[in-house]
Structure 1
Amino acid sequence: MKDITRTLASFVAQVQWEDIPPKVRHEAKRALVNYFAVALAGCSDPGISKAVNVYGRFSSGREAGLVGRGERTDILNAAALNAMSANVFDFDDTHLPTIIHPTAPVAAPLFALAQKSSLSGKQWLLAFVLGVEIECRLGNAVSPGHYQRGWHITSTCGVFGAAAAIGKALSLDNTQLGWAFGNASAQSSGLVETLGSMSKSISVGNAARNGLLSALLAQEGFAGPEQPLEGERGFLRVMSEAAEAHVDAAFATLGSEWELLSNTYKPYPCGVVLNPVIEACLALSTTAGFSFANVERVTLKGHPLLRARTDRPNITLGREAQVSAQHSVAVSLARGRAGLAEFTDAVVADPLLRAFAGRLEFVDDPSYSVESAQVTVALRSGETMSRRIDAARGSLQAPLADTDLENKLRELAEYGGSGCEPGPLINSLWTLESAPDSSLPMHLACS
């Protein structure tokens, strides 16, 4: 637990584009294709519209756009609202070792800054890679106890990623980056209890906004503590009882291994632990002899986190459905689909699906990874059907292809109804590295 703040600040300050391996560069672009896909899907969500209206009352400018919308606002509000849009449907990327959704808190403030300050595509991508690296390394250090304790790790670690990314984009020196981390440490918050509600979006938006603010303050000489991360009452010790045991491993490979390569993209709009469950249910729904009307009982066997995060039988909202195994199993088996249209308030209210909740049971098995699950269906005839998924589609073992991500953007752009033309946006993301102006994707994504 020695000199972690200084080590990370020096790392961010010194790394150059030439130090980033080609595979990591490409993964950064994949993350952006997914980011715009989910942000375009969420841009017209009623909760986001409410937030846009309230935040707009306090806007100090019109420098930055909002993905999929016509309003313009100041860069702090834009950072918050665009991060919220990308996370609102739980359809964004997932860093599997930590369950952090890394892109929204980092990309949103960087694109906001890019609309106010001149940043080339290479400068933007370098800052993005480093921001993701910092948030996920800190996540590694406080995991698994931090999230299990109830801290919303995307929010608590995302603010540091945003601060690092903006700090790099602003060319802050080692001391200023340390101050940025200190400023971020004063704003690291978010609770798992808010999942399934509109409130969850606040802390994700705050991570983006406050990380941007932290770096801007540091640029002006607004100083933080010397050891905001490793100090006796710093982030690592306060936020995790076991951080000291994990810290060496968390930072040992800094600069030689990259956390973006542990990032994944979801095929379904739900908590990541539900991906293998839905995949198994969709396969069972097409099995000869299966009938949803004849289902007597369904047993889910998986990692204990599956029950801990998704045992939600009495939901009433589409947001809650995104983290409800009862709904996910019922809708996948009954309708043979699991897209955004299946996770709305109206579908949650379907009496047929609601009546199913009591027929689901969990079996915890720590030998399962969060990417695996087994679904066993007992029919009234006495027959049983079972499907085990060892590596869900979208996992590191079965990743979505580039074309899958492009198709996801096209589908979700249409779902969100923004009128954004996907083709030019997709092309701008794949070619961002050579772009003289990194704000082009935002111009294409705003209506």
Structure 2
Amino acid sequence: MSQPPVAVALGRFVAEAAWDRIPSEIRREAPRALLNHVSCALGVAQSPVVRGALAALRPFSGPATATVFGQGVKLDPMSAAFVNCIAGNLLDYDDTHLATVIHPAAPVAPVALALAEQRGLSGRAVLEALLLGMEVECRIGLGVAPGHYDRGWHITSTTGVFGAAAAAAKLIGLDAARTAHALGLAASQSSGIIENLPNAGKNASMGNAARNGLLAALLAEAGWEAAPTAIEGRNGWARAMGDVPDVAAMAADLGARWEALRITYKPYPAGIVFHAVIEAAMQLAGPAEAVAHVLVEGDALLLERGDRLVRTGGDSRVSIHHAVALGLVRQRAGVAEFEQPAVEDPALAAMRARVEARLNAGLPRGAARLTATRRDGTRQVVLVEHPTGSEANPMSDAALEAKLRDNLAIGGFAPRGDALVAALRGLEGSANTAGLMALLG
């Protein structure tokens, strides 16, 4: 029997899914993902980028029914989702699905929270929609990775629109056919380029992923239709933006094989592939001044993402050279270590200049081997394959809560810590999201 189109299969999966029938180990990831998302978003509430997005959209907002995290204001749901998505992803501190390098929660959680707040939906509905949306975007991403990314498409933005559409469709209550149309409509609203990764261009495409996904679901609710094969068809999204898609990766074994189990969380606010570099550098014997040269070896993605000059904080979060410098010179890699003062630190700049990057196709994605040559001629080799936060070495619930509290302190919301943790822990049993949104606002 022939397989249905991808949008049809995914639409049926989303519409027919029921929270109680999802295995508990899968459901567990939804509140973890949400906690991590709001942690990252509140930590940057004072950022000019976030404030600028709010200032640009506020004069054009519709009825103010959805909270903007940390700003004390509300906007219409599409505008709030745009700003909150940017905040959650701004520092590259959010969750990651390493097989695709998608950050799943950022385009999806803001849509789920905005719709639930507007429509008075339950906390359980939010968690269910978030989980399904993340699954859909990761599945679609698997079907086009790695060629899609290699062509220059920012895969979180381009697939995030599908996750946002799926989450919105679930919350709105669309049936399988309408949900499939929402996904097909999302295919026409997908964009985002890697060239803009270190600057505000990435933020724009991320915000659009959330906003456009919600728009796609609302248009489907209003009766709009899309081609059944809008995703994988001969002139569809996947082929227009990449190679021949792997349809089985997108739509086979839905409900039996969950990509949500492979979502990981970051202890460092940098691209996930740099975490092994940071931790390997921390293991190198110092002092840094005694190290004349460091060779970093990793896979193609590490080299493509991170072999760059560092001029800004955005550059530093996707830099092999800065990752090594932090590990050797500062022995830490918190938010402050990726801001402009750190970029301009002479000691870090001098260390960056002594770092060389080289492709090693034999190393798995996410791993790094560092060879340090000291001024006395001695060498040290450190290999890190499973850094903290990786699928094989995950962050605990306690570590995620500690990250939340650290980010709340940075954003100026430290007194809310206990109440916010309690609200997030109890969200599944909450009749609505009013208490959580009051804390987030």
TM category, shorter: over 0.9
Q: Which letter does structure 1 place at the counterpart of 2:282?
A: L
Residue equivalent to 1:255: 255
**1:420·1:445 contact (CA, 8 Å) conserved in 2?**
no
Tell me how far 1:420 sits from its aligned partner: 5.7
Q: Structure 1 stretch 290-299 or stretch 83-92: which is displaced more?
A: 290-299
Residue equivalent to 1:296: 292
Q: Structure 1 stretch 16-25 or stretch 153-162: which is displaced more?
A: 16-25
CA deviations 1:228-264 (Å, max 9, x no partner) are 1122211122222131xx2224422211011110000
Tell me how far 1:397 sits from its aligned partner: 0.5
Secondary structure of residue in 2 paired with 1:167: helix
Q: Structure 1 stretch 113-122 or stretch 273-282: which is displaced more?
A: 113-122
**1:114·1:439 contact (CA, 8 Å) conserved in 2?**
no
Residue equivalent to 1:73: 75
Residue equivalent to 1:436: 431
**Residue 439 to residue 282, structure 1, CA distance change in 2 (3 Å):** farther
Secondary structure of residue in 2 paired with 1:421: helix
**1:105·1:207 contact (CA, 8 Å) conserved in 2?**
yes
Q: Distance in 2 between matches of 1:249 and 1:348?
A: 40
Q: Which letter does structure 1 place at the counterpart of 2:335?
A: L
Residue equivalent to 1:216: 218
Tell me how far 1:439 sits from its aligned partner: 4.3
Alignment of 1:7-46 (within 5 A): 7-46=9-48
Q: Does 1:270 align with 2:270?
A: yes
Residue equivalent to 2:196: 194
Report the TM-score, using the length of structure 1 for normalisation: 0.95
Q: Structure 1 stretch 63-72 or stretch 256-265: which is displaced more?
A: 63-72
**Residue 65 to residue 419, structure 1, CA distance change in 2 (3 Å):** farther
Q: Which letter does structure 1 place at the counterpart of 2:12?
A: S
Q: Distance in 1 between matches of 2:313 and 2:75?
A: 28
Q: Distance in 2 between matches of 1:18 and 1:70?
A: 35
Q: Which letter does structure 2 place at the counterpart of 1:305?
A: L
Q: Which letter does structure 2 place at the counterpart of 1:331?
A: L
CA deviations 1:199-243 (Å, max 9, x no partner) are 211111111111011111111112222321122211122222131
Tell me how far 1:305 sits from its aligned partner: 1.2
**1:93·1:264 contact (CA, 8 Å) conserved in 2?**
yes
CA deviations 1:366-415 (Å, max 9, x no partner) are 22122211112111111222221121110011000000000000001111
Alignment of 1:352-367 (within 5 A): 352-367=347-362
Report the TM-score, using the length of structure 2 for normalisation: 0.97
Residue equivalent to 2:57: 55
Q: Which letter does structure 2 place at the counterpart of 1:264?
A: T
**2:10·2:251 contact (CA, 8 Å) conserved in 1?**
no
Q: Does 1:378 align with 2:373?
A: yes
Secondary structure of residue in 1 paired with 2:32: helix
Q: Structure 1 stretch 261-270 or stretch 298-307: which is displaced more?
A: 298-307
Q: Does 1:416 align with 2:418?
A: no
**Residue 420 to residue 6, structure 1, CA distance change in 2 (3 Å):** farther
Q: Does 1:306 align with 2:269?
A: no
**2:6·2:247 contact (CA, 8 Å) conserved in 1?**
no
- Alignment partner of 1:114 out of 116, 122, 131: 116
Q: Does 1:320 align with 2:315?
A: yes
**1:79·1:209 contact (CA, 8 Å) conserved in 2?**
yes
Q: Distance in 2 between matches of 1:249 and 1:175?
A: 21
Secondary structure of residue in 2 paired with 1:375: strand
**2:57·2:79 contact (CA, 8 Å) conserved in 1?**
yes
Q: Structure 1 stretch 39-48 or stretch 99-108: which is displaced more?
A: 39-48
Q: Distance in 2 between matches of 1:305 and 1:384?
A: 26
**1:420·1:444 contact (CA, 8 Å) conserved in 2?**
no
Q: Distance in 1 between matches of 2:151 and 2:197?
A: 14
Tell me how far 1:80 sits from its aligned partner: 0.6
Q: Distance in 2 between matches of 1:227 and 1:299?
A: 46
Superposed CA RMSD in Å reads 1.4
Q: Distance in 1 between matches of 2:153 and 2:92?
A: 16
Q: Distance in 2 between matches of 1:215 and 1:150?
A: 27
**1:35·1:86 contact (CA, 8 Å) conserved in 2?**
yes
Q: Does 1:393 align with 2:401?
A: no
The alignment of Structure 1 onto Structure 2 pairs a total of residues equal to: 439
Secondary structure of residue in 2 paired with 1:57: helix
Q: Distance in 1 between matches of 2:39 and 2:221?
A: 32
Tell me how far 1:419 sits from its aligned partner: 5.2
Q: Distance in 2 between matches of 1:191 and 1:166?
A: 24
Tell me how far 1:88 sits from its aligned partner: 0.3
Q: Which letter does structure 1 place at the counterpart of 2:428?
A: E
**1:2·1:230 contact (CA, 8 Å) conserved in 2?**
no
Tell me how far 1:193 sits from its aligned partner: 0.8
Aligned sequence identity (%)? 41
Q: Does 1:149 align with 2:151?
A: yes
Q: Does 1:167 align with 2:163?
A: no
